Structure 1
Amino acid sequence: MLAELHPGPARALLFDWDGTLVDSQDANFRAMGAALAPHGLGLDQDWFDARTGLSSADMIQALAAETGARLTAPVEDLVAARDRHFLANADRIRVHPQVAEVAMAYHGTLPLAVASGGARRIIETTMRHLSLEWLFTALVTRDEVDRGKPAPDIFLRAAEALRTAPADCLVYEDSDEGIEAARTAGMAVIDVRPVTRPRG
């Protein structure tokens, strides 16, 4: 296990899903672009990459607000289209081995949860595809809370599901929104990007 990912004294580990445990960035970008294109909405890669902590619905609403575009379909329909495109390419998703190694090392020793801004159906399907579902005691998604990241709700719900105080939880994250959410929840957090997306 890489030293920079060691959980130290944490009593429970919470993992973001997309970009943290799995490398789904390209599949997510392609799926969102394919869902928006029929409605005349373009999607820039850099803009998308800077907002990976947002749920699909929040991202679509942010794009419309920032570009002044008028959505020609309900947000939930656009999200459903995005999800269909994503699931059609689920075989492209790969595990980030450095982060998955942490989960595997502490499975059975510490309670583990996935706490993600994604949709439960999508994550559960991808978990089964990658045979990772056995690792985790709990899964909390955007579907179960009122507010997505950067609000702390997802992480607080996950801590509750693991019966662990927020201060005793450690979060593994790959987005600015997720890191802010973890800190607001009163949790320690490790930014996995230097490991999963090293520069140069």
Structure 2
Amino acid sequence: MPELHPGDAGALLFDWDGTLVDSQRANYVALAGALAEEGVQLDQEWFDARTGLSSAEMVRLLVRECGLTLRRPVEEIVADRDERFLRTAHEIRVHPEIEAVVSSFHGRLPMAVASGGARRVIEITLRHLPIRHRFGAVVTRDDVERGKPAPDIFLRAAKLIGVPPNSCTVYEDSDEGIAAAQAAGMAIIDVRPLTRRPSATSA
């Protein structure tokens, strides 16, 4: 697919949620369920506009914007969210357009997952997917000091696969992720025109 071809990239870095996998609805349902225990209703449009943030960062932002008082610490709410998500992890599927890119360049270019998600959630979900053995590294929000839109996740991924940042191409689906890739000095392919088409299930 020409829109997704990385050109002369030296390595490919893939965001996870919404880019590699069609997890938007499952992520929303999991966080909404965890917040409902706090008496908080999560607006899906608000959530969809901030998918580049980690769950913890999203909850903290919601607290600041709405002046909320939570009964549980943010870490407990996120743990609740993760457990809710993992109950459906076996149902998560790879976006076919992105899977085609991964399959095409597997063995030809170094590739890594570079996600603002939690390592445990990503690793468990990966076990159910055909792409699980195709990445030289998996970098998550747990591995760095700052999440997206800071460049830390992408820079660490590039270091782990031994490729200079300016030789990496990033596949992303969020404004925060794109800002992070730009800050890292990497080329970017915004997958949203493909993964969020009316025919896609992640709308």
Give the TM-score category using the shorter length.
over 0.9
Question: 8 Å contact 1:120–1:142 — kept in the other structure?
Answer: yes
Q: Counterpart in 1 of 2:71? A: 72
The alignment's C-alpha RMSD in Å is 1.0
Any residues of structure 2 matched to 1:14-163 within 5 Å, and which?
A: 14-163=13-162
Deviation at 1:91, TM superposition (A): 2.7
Structure 2: runs of 5+ lacking an equivalent = none
- Give the 3-state SS of the residue equivalent to 1:23 in structure 2: coil
- Give the 3-state SS of the residue equivalent to 2:153 in structure 1: helix
Please tell me the residue identity of whatever aligns with 2:191. V
Deviation at 1:196, TM superposition (A): 0.6
Deviation at 1:199, TM superposition (A): 5.2
Deviations for 1:175-198, whole angstroms, at most 9, x for unmatched residues? 000000000100000000001112
Total equivalences in the alignment: 199
Higher share of residues assigned helix:
1
Structure 1: runs of 5+ lacking an equivalent = none
Deviation at 1:89, TM superposition (A): 1.2
Deviation at 1:132, TM superposition (A): 2.0
Please tell me the residue identity of whatever aligns with 1:16. D
Please tell me the residue identity of whatever aligns with 1:39. E
Please tell me the residue identity of whatever aligns with 2:38. H
CA–CA separation in structure 2 for the residues paired with 1:71 and 1:114: 32
Any residues of structure 2 matched to 1:177-196 within 5 Å, and which?
A: 177-196=176-195
Question: 8 Å contact 1:170–1:190 — kept in the other structure?
Answer: yes
**Percentage of matched positions with identical amino acids:** 63
Runs of 4+ aligned residues of structure 1 deviating over 6 Å after TM superposition are: none
CA–CA separation in structure 1 for the residues paired with 2:59 and 2:191: 25
Deviation at 1:70, TM superposition (A): 1.0
